[in-house]
Amino acid sequence: MGESKTKEKNSKMKVEEVEDASSKELPLTEALRRKFGIIGREAEIRRCLAAKLSGKHILLEGDVGVGKTTLALAISGFFRQPLYRIDGDEQYPSSRLTGHFEPPLVLEKGFCYDSFIPGPLTSSMKEDGILFINELNRLPEGTQNALLSAMDEGFMIIPKLGKVRAGPNFCVISTMNPREYVAVSPLSEAIRDRFVWVKLEHQSEAEERQIVWLRSGMKDADVTSNAVAITRATRNHPDLRRGASVRGAIDIASIMRQYKSRAIDIWIEVCIMGLATKIEVEDGVERNVESIIEEIVHEILGRKKKENF
């Protein structure tokens, strides 16, 4: 996976400058929500802002699709600091995180900064920036451990180069999926101890309807309502280990825009398209994904039809 960098002209931002960013004296949480178009999440935003302004590193935990990355990038973007991003990968080495010496340059210049290619951790420390790690618990434990001294003491030692110090506003913001997800590694006690923790749950049905309305382009309230209800029903179905996030409802509503018909067979067809890759069947269940989704669609649309009479 890759890493990317976003820079703004003013790399440092004091508390009062953040407050200036909230127009018309809006509370910081509301200013951030409006700036980045976030629906709900007032409590989570408040906690993240309090942590960031207190100089803490933030760990966001929640299921796939609950908006961890969206919130992390919004918090990062709210502060005028350089932003470096990496995406968790079990093959991501610590040398890629911290940086490495380029052999041809070493032969020419020796072991010095001019021959060193900094990684995202080193760059974010030196530039007083934010390191955003998407899915931290997909990184190998050795790579995770490379963060420890930087997060705890504000510096790290690079062999043959020396000490790299972090700026006063340096911060790590990470996301992680719950431990039961496939291809994740448990975080060590040492790395967890250096974060403050913010949990993200699925949002309310009303908020999910707003999200689907805004992000799908579907302006039929009945369709968005049905898409959300069907998606939410996957989360507590007895035959499913894992249900779909609001991303499933967005996909359903987006695809439904291409159909004139609202017949039950169209709903089943579109819901299978939108949900089949986002849910997992419980161990020991012999039914396939398609039959479970069809059952849910019949149940939800049948119930809604009765409610309208």
Task: Compare 145 and 113 and report the one with higher pLDDT.
Answer: 145
Could you tell me if 148 and 172 lie in one domain?
A: yes
pLDDT band at residue 162 using 50, 70 and 90 as cut-offs: confident
% of the chain at pLDDT higher than 90: 66
| Mean pLDDT across 32-59 | 93
Distance separating alpha carbons of residues 248 and 94, to the nearest angstrom: 35
What pTM was computed for the model? 0.82
Could you tell me if 31 and 172 lie in one domain?
A: yes
Could you tell me if 25 and 111 lie in one domain?
A: yes
Extract the runs of DSSP E, i.e. beta strands, from the chain: 3-6, 57-62, 83-87, 99-101, 116-118, 130-134, 155-158, 162-165, 171-176, 195-200, 240-242, 280-281
Q: Mutual orientation of helices 221-233 and 289-307 as an angle, nearest 10°?
A: 130
Distance separating alpha carbons of residues 40 and 78, to the nearest angstrom: 17
pLDDT at 103: 87
Given a cut of 90, whether residue 222 has pLDDT beyond it is yes
Could you tell me if 104 and 216 lie in one domain?
A: no
Could you tell me if 69 and 128 lie in one domain?
A: yes
| Mean pLDDT across 231-249 | 95
| Mean pLDDT across 57-65 | 92
Task: Compare 296 and 111 and report the one with higher pLDDT.
Answer: 296
| Structural domain total, the chain | 2
Given a cut of 50, whether residue 68 has pLDDT beyond it is yes
Average pLDDT, the chain: 87
Given a cut of 70, whether residue 275 has pLDDT beyond it is yes
Q: What is the CATH number of the domain that holds 261?
A: 1.10.8
Could you tell me if 190 and 224 lie in one domain?
A: no
Could you tell me if 215 and 190 lie in one domain?
A: no
| Mean pLDDT across 290-306 | 91
% of the chain at pLDDT higher than 70: 89
pLDDT in tens, 115-128: 888 999 999 999 99
| Mean pLDDT across 227-254 | 96
Could you tell me if 83 and 185 lie in one domain?
A: yes
CB 192 within 8 A of CB 172: no
Q: Which of 77-91, 105-119, 133-147, 204-218 has the lowest mean pLDDT?
A: 105-119
Q: Cα-flanking dihedrals φ and ψ of residue 164, to 5°?
A: -110, 120
- C-alpha distances in angstroms, 306 versus 28, 197, 299, 302? 44, 43, 11, 6
Out of 200, 218, 242, pick the residue that ends a domain: 200
| Helix, strand, or coil (residue 77) | helix
pLDDT at 23: 46
| Mean pLDDT across 265-284 | 95
pLDDT in tens, 175-214: 998 865 656 677 888 999 999 999 999 999 999 999 999 9
Out of 154, 172, 200, pick the residue that ends a domain: 200
pLDDT at 7: 39
Given a cut of 60, whether residue 70 has pLDDT beyond it is yes
Domain containing 179 equals 3-200
Distance separating alpha carbons of residues 88 and 49, to the nearest angstrom: 24
pLDDT at 213: 96
Distance separating alpha carbons of residues 151 and 289, to the nearest angstrom: 44
- Alpha carbon dihedral 214, 217, 223, 226, in 10-degree steps, equals -50
Could you tell me if 267 and 147 lie in one domain?
A: no
Could you tell me if 301 and 166 lie in one domain?
A: no
Out of 153, 175, 200, pick the residue that ends a domain: 200
| Mean pLDDT across 90-106 | 89
Q: What is the CATH number of the domain that holds 142?
A: 3.40.50.300
Kindly state the tokens that stand for 257.
Answer: 């825009």
Could you tell me if 291 and 164 lie in one domain?
A: no
Could you tell me if 21 and 147 lie in one domain?
A: yes
Given a cut of 80, whether residue 25 has pLDDT beyond it is no
